[in-house]
Structure 1
């Protein structure tokens, strides 16, 4: 009896199967500890086939980072309906972000932990992804601020720092939520929404927080307890 022939799988499908296995392995074991042997075994293919498709461990890892980054950006963009009020848009964006990271913990570990600690080529891909999300969030906030202030020319720089801070907080909170049993994507999104929207809401209403006026000697005033604002160490 001749050997049983297996059904030939399309290259694109086979490659995604390898990437699935690689993301799981890199996310759970880390880039350095992961081996091509275990990735091939998990994917159900031979190691030579992995090398044939993706040439090296470095190229495989880069392909994983790119795929996961594109998926996250697409999830956030698709999750926001721009016809909704500003607070609902932000809520939906945060919900989409935390839903995606909670459903893809290995992919998030690859992006948030592994890619940033193993060299510039890997980190550069994540940086580009992050910048795209920051630009998107900045536009959400600036559009809302312009509408609230009835000023279509409100400079984007007025809110760019807020978007940067919000994205950074979301990244840290996603890592915490994935490592904390019982925390849902909705709970994580609500936590950050409660933290952020109090300040953003005041901004939209034209009530931004302002630092105290400088003292007559030119210092930045005092902090609670009599400490000079300028002499106080930064954290």
Structure 2
């Protein structure tokens, strides 16, 4: 009786195994220090096979960025319920974002820490994804502003600025939250859940947005007297 041949792993499956190993290695070592030898060993394949499937280290890193970016966008989009109010859609998107970054810390580290600091073309690819998220948030905040009757150049500028600020704050909070560990009764910070992180952002942004839509504006103290004299305070 002849020897039983081992089942051949399909190329698509093997490639994903290599990409999974690359994500972990890039997140742990950084792009510069990561080696193709370590990636191959972690994936359980030979280094020549990694080069055969994914070409150079630069191409491999680009492929990882695209895969993780697409997965992040898919997670955010899937969490948003079409037809819901603007606040419910934003709430869903934030929960999707924080859930993904918590469940895929390696991928998030590659996108937020590694790719953005390695120059072109990596930074450009990440910036493009970030731009999509900012555009999505801008549309939601713009819809809320329109519903509240807050229109005009000032409203559009504030909505755009708030969208950029929200995305930046969410990125920072995701990085901070993913660095927390559960420390029991020690009194140290525990890891934030995706729901907690999303609620934090909604409380900061939506509460402030609601007051802004109602016509309230914060004015620096040194300008209050000037605006009162000129009759432009509002």
Same fold (TM over 0.5): yes
Instruction: Indicate whether 1:92 and 2:126 are aligned.
Output: no
Mapped partners of 1:154, 1:3: distance in 2: 76
Shift of 1:6: 2.7
Paired position in structure 2 for 1:183? 192
Mapped partners of 2:49, 2:5: distance in 1: 17
Q: Work out whether residues 145 and 203 of structure 1, in 8 Å CA contact, stay in contact via their aligned partners in 2.
A: no
Q: Larger deviation: 151-160 or 129-138?
A: 151-160
Q: Larger deviation: 142-151 or 34-43?
A: 142-151
Mapped partners of 2:52, 2:3: distance in 1: 24
Mapped partners of 1:155, 1:189: distance in 2: 24
Unmatched segments (≥5 aa) in structure 1: 217-235
Paired position in structure 2 for 1:203? 212
Paired position in structure 1 for 2:109? 109
Matched residues, number: 217
Q: Work out whether residues 23 and 107 of structure 2, in 8 Å CA contact, stay in contact via their aligned partners in 1.
A: yes
Q: Larger deviation: 150-159 or 14-23?
A: 150-159
Shift of 1:116: 1.2
What's the TM-score once normalised by structure 1's chain length?
Answer: 0.84
Pairwise CA RMSD: 2.4
Shift of 1:147: 1.5
Paired position in structure 2 for 1:77? 77
Q: Work out whether residues 30 and 114 of structure 1, in 8 Å CA contact, stay in contact via their aligned partners in 2.
A: yes
Paired position in structure 2 for 1:163? 163
Unmatched segments (≥5 aa) in structure 2: 182-190, 228-234
Paired position in structure 2 for 1:50? 50
Q: Larger deviation: 5-14 or 32-41?
A: 5-14
Q: Larger deviation: 199-208 or 145-154?
A: 145-154
Alignment of 1:27-42 (within 5 A): 27-42=27-42
Q: Work out whether residues 134 and 164 of structure 1, in 8 Å CA contact, stay in contact via their aligned partners in 2.
A: yes
Paired position in structure 2 for 1:230? none
What's the TM-score once normalised by structure 2's chain length?
Answer: 0.84
Alignment of 1:4-15 (within 5 A): 5-15=5-15
Q: Larger deviation: 159-168 or 23-32?
A: 23-32
Q: 1:215 aligns with which of 200, 203, 226?
A: 226
- Please list the CA deviations of residues 35-81 of structure 1 after superposition, one character each: whole Å capped at 9, or x if unmatched: 11111111111110100011111110111011111111121122111
